[in-house]
Structures are given as C-alpha cells and as structure tokens.
Structure 1
C-alpha cells in the first residue's frame, strides 16, 4: 500500500507540474496607447512648439544679417519657451518615446547654446549650422507626438 501511495504521489506531482507549466497568462497584453487625458495634455502645449517652428525663417534671417542681439533674444525667448514646453510634454508620452524625447530636448539645448556662443563671437557659420540642427530637433520631437495631438485649431 505504501508503494501505491508513492507512485500516486509522483503521478500527482507530474500532473500538477504539467498543468502549472501550461497555465500562465492567457490574455495578451495590449501595447500601451495614449489616453484621452494624455492627448489633451499634449494638445495644450503643441501650438507653442509649432509657433516657434513656424518662425524658423525669422531666426535664419537674423543670423544672415548678423543681428546677434536679436538672435540672442530669439534663443532666450521663444526658443527657450519651446524647449521648456517640450520638457512638459515628455512625461505624457509613451514610455518608449520618453527616452527619445529627453535626448532630443537635450540635443536642442546643446544646439541653442552653440548658436548663443556663436552669436557672442559673431560667427555666422557656426550659428547657421546649428540653426538647422535646432529645427531638425524640433521636427524630430513633433514626429514623436501622437497624431491626435498635432491637430491645431485654427
């Protein structure tokens, strides 16, 4: 009788192990998506970034005319506000996009600093190359945003 109990116990252990290994979560986890609240938060800030993006030619012409004080004003005014707005948006993005958004914002700051330094030295070549990099960074950031948040009311 003792031998039958041990065989029965081994069979129960094997059956339980098999059932547990085949169990697991049967429901597939949906990929993360934006909630209506997240899109609303992002939509609140997008027009500020888009406005600065639309003023790209203004900065370009200031650099070409060597109006360094106005270049500095533009960088420390509207561009600084756009960068700050980008940092406000970043926590509302999907986790996979937050890392890229932080890096883009950091790159934007580095390019703005280089333009500011070039303006202080009167170096239009460095300012022009970093001007293009700044607006490339802004475009990259805007591409990270969900489609529903990019619709600007007219």
Structure 2
C-alpha cells in the first residue's frame, strides 16, 4: 500500500514539474523577444490572409520599433551574446525588407519565403536566451 502512494506521489511531482517548467522557460525570454514572438505570429496571420497593405504597415510600424528595442537589448548583453543579437537583428531586418518588397509586388511565394526567414531569425533569438 505504501509503495502505491509513493508511486502516485512521484507521478504528481513529475506532472507538477512539467507543468511549472514551461512558463518558467517562456518567462526567461527578454520582453523584447517575447514582443517579437507575438508580432511574428500576427505577421503570419496577415501573410496567410494576403493582406498586402497591412503587412507593409505592420512591418514599418510596430515591428520597426521592436527591431530598435532589440538593438537596445543587445547593448546590455555580454560581448559574444551582444554580437549575435545584433547579427540576428540585422538578419531579421533584411528579411522584413524582402517581405515588404514582396508584399508591395503582391508576390505570395516571395512573401512566404521571407516570412520563413523572419521566423528562423526569431527561433535563433529564442534559442540564444534559452
């Protein structure tokens, strides 16, 4: 009987640890990266809807400010991490420029390719802080 309770208690602790583990990882991301994550999701919805004008407005508006904030974040980091964040921010900017140009030309395949590069840069940023 006692071993049954121990097994049950062990399962509960493992489940609790897994449940609590996920939010801690997300909370470890800097707010600038969390904001970018939300914006990339919103941008994906606009790409899926082929809302060309809104894609371009979103890139030049909220996402432009986030890129500036990422550069500000880089200044506060250790040298190697700082260089990587700056490089990824530039890569993100170049991908957004390509996406903007493709949206201007109503070129859905190019928009999707550029959006994939934006997502890839975000994934690398998240991995850098994980």
Residue of structure 1 equivalent to 2:118:
134
**Runs in 1 of length 4+ with deviation above 4 angstroms?**
none
1:63 pairs with one of 47, 55, 80: 47
CA RMSD of aligned residues (A): 2.1
Unaligned runs of 5+ in 2: 1-26
Distance verdict in 2 for CA 1:100–1:57, change over 3 Å: closer
Write out aligned runs for 1:19-98 (5 A). Answer: 46-98=30-82
Q: Give the distance between the partners of 1:96 and 1:55, measured in 2 at CA.
A: 26
TM-score by length of 1: 0.59
TM-score by length of 2: 0.69
Residue 70 (structure 1) shift = 0.4
Distance verdict in 2 for CA 1:77–1:118, change over 3 Å: same
Unaligned runs of 5+ in 1: 1-42, 148-154
Task: Report the number of matched residues.
Answer: 103
Query: Which has more helix, going by share of residues?
Result: 2
